Amino acid sequence: MSRLSQLLRVAGLGVALALLAARPSLAQAAEAAIPTASAAPAAASEAQTLLLWFLLGTLALVILLILLLATMLVVRLRPQLRRLYELPTVRPTWSGRVLGLLVGDSTLVRGEVRDEILDHDYDGIHEFDNDLPPWWKYSFYATIVFAISYLSYYHLAGAGQLQGAEYAAEMQQAALFVSAEADDPNKLTTYQPLTAAGDLSSGKSLFTTNCAPCHGANAEGKVGPNLTDEYWLHGGEVNHVYKTIKFGVQGKGMVAWKGKLSGKQILQVSSYLLSLQGTKPAGAKEPQGEKEAPGQPMAKL
C-alpha cells in the first residue's frame, strides 16, 4: 500500500499545484470583472466572460485529475476488488454487479447467459432461456415512464401545448415580426389598372424586353403559361398580378422582378397584361390553372 500512498500524494500535489498556479490569474480576472465607475460596460462584460471560461477550464482540469486518480486507484486495487466481488454475499447484489464492471464482468450490461435449452422446439430450432440485456429492459421501462408522463402532462392535465396549438402559437408570434409595408409579400396592394395609352405602351415595351422570352411576344405562352385566356395560376386581379411579378413564384421558374423594375413599371406591365385578355393569339398555349369569374380585370403569371 506504500506505492498507493505515493500515488495519492502525487495526485493531491498535482491538484494543489494547479489551484495555486491558477490563484493569481483568478484574482486578476476577478478584479477585472468588477467594473469601475469609468469602465465601459462592454469591457466589464468581456472580463466576466473571460473569468467564466477560466473557471470552467480550472473545473475541467480538476475533474480530469480526479478521474485520473480514480482510474489509478481501480487499477491498483483490482486484485482486492476481484476478491471482494467473488464473495457470495456481494456478487448477486446491485452494488456487486457495478463492482463487476470494474473488474471486467459485464453481467450488469449483457445480463445472465444460461445455456439452458427450453423443452420445446420449432422445426428443429431450439430456444435458449437467457435474460434480456438489462440495458434493453431498463430502456423499455424508461419509454413506459415517458409515455405515461407525456399522456398525463399533455392530454390529461392539459398543461402543455399539443403540436397543432404550438404551431398556431408560433405562427401568430411570427406574424408580429412580418413587415406590413409595401415590400411585405403577405400584404396585397390596392392598385387600380392603368388605362392611359402611355402607361400601356410602356408596359408593352417592358413586357417585350423582359417577359416575352418565357411568355411569348403576344403573351400566348411558351415556357410560361398563356396570359390571354381566362385561366389563372396565381390570381388574375391586377394586385395579384402585381404581387406575382414583384415577388416571383419560388420553384416555378417565375423570377422576382423586385429591384429590377420600379413599382410603377410593374404596375404598367400588370395593366398591359389586363388589356390582352381575350385576344386569342395564334399558337396559344393550353389553359393552365383555374378559371375565374368573367367581368373582372385579370391576368395570369
- Whole-angstrom distance, CA of residue 53 vs CA of residue 227: 64
- Whole-angstrom distance, CA of residue 206 vs CA of residue 219: 13
pLDDT for 179 = 53
All three cell numbers of 258, joined, read 423586385
Q: Does residue 127 belong to any structural domain of this protein?
A: no
CB 211 within 8 A of CB 201: no
CB 267 within 8 A of CB 242: yes
Looking at residue 285, the DSSP 8-state letter turns out to be: P
Q: Which of 159, 173, 179 is nearest to 247 (CA)?
A: 179
pLDDT for 9 = 63
Looking at 22, 57, 76, which one is the last position of a domain?
A: 76
Mean pLDDT of all residues in 212-221: 87
pLDDT for 299 = 41
Looking at 25, 50, 76, which one is the last position of a domain?
A: 76
Q: Does residue 158 belong to any structural domain of this protein?
A: no
pLDDT band per the 50, 70, 90 thresholds, residue 5 = low
Strand pairing of 231-232 and 125-128? Answer: unpaired
Residue 1 has a CB neighbour count (10 Å cut-off) of 8
Q: Does residue 48 belong to any structural domain of this protein?
A: yes
Q: Does residue 232 belong to any structural domain of this protein?
A: yes
Residue 15 has pLDDT above 60, yes or no: no
Q: Which domain holds residue 250?
A: 197-291
pLDDT for 141 = 94
Question: What percentage of the chain carries pLDDT values higher than 70?
Answer: 76
pLDDT for 150 = 94
The average confidence (pLDDT) of the chain is 78
Mean pLDDT of all residues in 57-63: 93
All three cell numbers of 150, joined, read 407525456
Q: Does residue 281 belong to any structural domain of this protein?
A: yes
Residue 164 has pLDDT above 70, yes or no: yes
pLDDT band per the 50, 70, 90 thresholds, residue 36 = very low
Q: Does residue 63 belong to any structural domain of this protein?
A: yes
pLDDT band per the 50, 70, 90 thresholds, residue 97 = confident
pLDDT for 38 = 44
Question: pLDDT tens-digit profile of 103-140?
Answer: 777 766 666 666 677 777 777 777 777 777 778 888 99
CB 256 within 8 A of CB 248: yes
46-62: b (≥16 Cβ within 10 Å) or e: ebbeebeebeeebeeee
State whether residue 64 is helix, strand or coil: helix
CATH number, domain of 215, equals: 1.10.760.10
- Whole-angstrom distance, CA of residue 200 vs CA of residue 275: 8
Beta partners for 254? 249
Burial of 274 (0-12, 13-18, 19+ CB in 10 A): buried
Q: Does residue 136 belong to any structural domain of this protein?
A: no
- How many domains does the chain divide into? 2
State whether residue 121 is helix, strand or coil: strand
**pTM for this entry:** 0.41
Q: Does residue 153 belong to any structural domain of this protein?
A: no
